[in-house]
Structure 1
């Protein structure tokens, strides 16, 4: 039996925000999905409802961004991310998720504030140069992304901390983050199933939101493809800042 109208009045905005995020508009929008949907159902059920929708969005995003991406960034981050997922699986029953959200949020906020300070300083001198790939930071932030994605749906900020300073072409950056999290979501299906976190009984309800999810994802793609680098990167840093603040807020509320 499908939910009533009140459920959809809450679910539609949640799916729209997550879809725009999956299209490439930043993880801050995606972080709002489960909290908003939790106004209608329990947080656990909200996550279960969104998982099939997220996978459908991944398929749409992969199709739209199939010609764009940076393989080196992807290959630098993925090994650590898989290790992070494995650690999250092994410690799932003992992880202080709220503390993790708080820590990741604080690190992300400091990262963005540091970037803002460097931009302010560069106004009177040379512009900020792109950073090269580094194996150590890639392994560190990749593992944080995989771990945070598994235990707290907070893998976006660690990815951004490593990838944004590379200053990739906006389309390549978006294609890379789409591939990265589509891969992580596919890998997470195995431990999620083993831990009993997949609830296929809600699949019919999730399916009714697929058309909206795909449309929202396509809209996100359309917007990002028309952004110049001078607009894209400040926007992405702003989204990272809002995502960090949201994680700090959620972590503090739960801990206090």
Structure 2
């Protein structure tokens, strides 16, 4: 049971605004931090259930400014692989305990930070050579799975898209379209698995304006705010929330 008290909304409001800023202006990679934050105060399944309709609203509002600017062939490849990935995530959720999902969400959060630090410091280099089409479909499985269990499909998607020679705006538009498609795919299994409740619906109604505000800010921040500043703050947030979720899952 989720308690919709003042504390919940004090945590959820800024988290949802942050998700909108990330998806609206910075390639969706860090939007899943909102689910990580909510999973600290409610059961992970409910945190994911609260966030999915809000992420779908953010996707919808971000489609217009980026309409037609995406790389449709690349999006198709990742979305195709995302189908079995989503199915794997649904199968796991049906048998796993909440602590397993705390560990998954926390592990993905910390792993995202380590991956980004390694990439930016030069310890990990993404191949400059363009990945073949079949690699997009294979990576798409990971994208589908991670977006189902933690709304965190951005990092594996980036692994493929960053080798495809896309401009900053093409990359941003492609992630908006990809996760709009994948989030629609996730909606039905989320409903069947009981991740939507009266409480999550009520929370969605209250938090929808926060999602729209975040998207509006993100679209405008796309050209104004340095990515280094935005992601630096994101890494600290994810490292703290991810570590706490891992601790909670283990103890």
TM-score by length of 1: 0.77
1:61, distance to aligned residue in structure 2 (A): 1.0
- How far apart, CA to CA, are the structure 2 residues paired with 1:136 and 1:101? 30
Which residue number corresponds to residue 149 of structure 2?
151
- How far apart, CA to CA, are the structure 1 residues paired with 2:200 and 2:51? 10
- Does the 8 Å CA contact 1:88/1:150 hold for their aligned counterparts? yes
1:17 aligned onto 2:18:
yes
- How far apart, CA to CA, are the structure 2 residues paired with 1:196 and 1:5? 24
Q: How does 1:207-222 map to 2 (within 5 A)?
A: 207-222=205-220
- How far apart, CA to CA, are the structure 1 residues paired with 2:160 and 2:207? 33
Cα shift readout 1:50-78 (whole Å, capped 9, x = no counterpart): 22222211110112211311112112211
Which residue number corresponds to residue 163 of structure 1?
161
- Does the 8 Å CA contact 1:104/1:157 hold for their aligned counterparts? no
Which residue number corresponds to residue 191 of structure 1?
189
CA-based RMSD of the aligned residues comes to: 3.5
Which residue number corresponds to residue 243 of structure 2?
249
- How far apart, CA to CA, are the structure 2 residues paired with 1:79 and 1:241? 30
SS at match of 1:188: helix
Cα shift readout 1:168-211 (whole Å, capped 9, x = no counterpart): 11111000001111101100111112222222443233212212
Which residue number corresponds to residue 122 of structure 2?
117
- How far apart, CA to CA, are the structure 2 residues paired with 1:185 and 1:139? 17
1:10, distance to aligned residue in structure 2 (A): 2.0
Which residue number corresponds to residue 79 of structure 2?
78
- How far apart, CA to CA, are the structure 2 residues paired with 1:238 and 1:167? 25
- Does the 8 Å CA contact 1:20/1:220 hold for their aligned counterparts? yes
1:142, distance to aligned residue in structure 2 (A): 0.9
Q: Could you list the runs of 5+ residues in structure 1 that have no partner in the other structure?
A: 121-127
- How far apart, CA to CA, are the structure 2 residues paired with 1:74 and 1:112? 26
SS at match of 1:209: helix
Cα shift readout 1:85-129 (whole Å, capped 9, x = no counterpart): 122223333455425863785487357525532799xxxxxxx98
1:244, distance to aligned residue in structure 2 (A): 8.0
Figure out how many residues of one structure are paired with residues of the other and give that number: 244
Cα shift readout 1:135-158 (whole Å, capped 9, x = no counterpart): 343123211010111123221111
1:251, distance to aligned residue in structure 2 (A): 6.8
- Does the 8 Å CA contact 1:28/1:239 hold for their aligned counterparts? no
Which residue number corresponds to residue 50 of structure 1?
51
- How far apart, CA to CA, are the structure 1 residues paired with 2:156 and 2:139? 5
Q: 1:148 to 1:202 in 2, by over 3 A?
A: closer
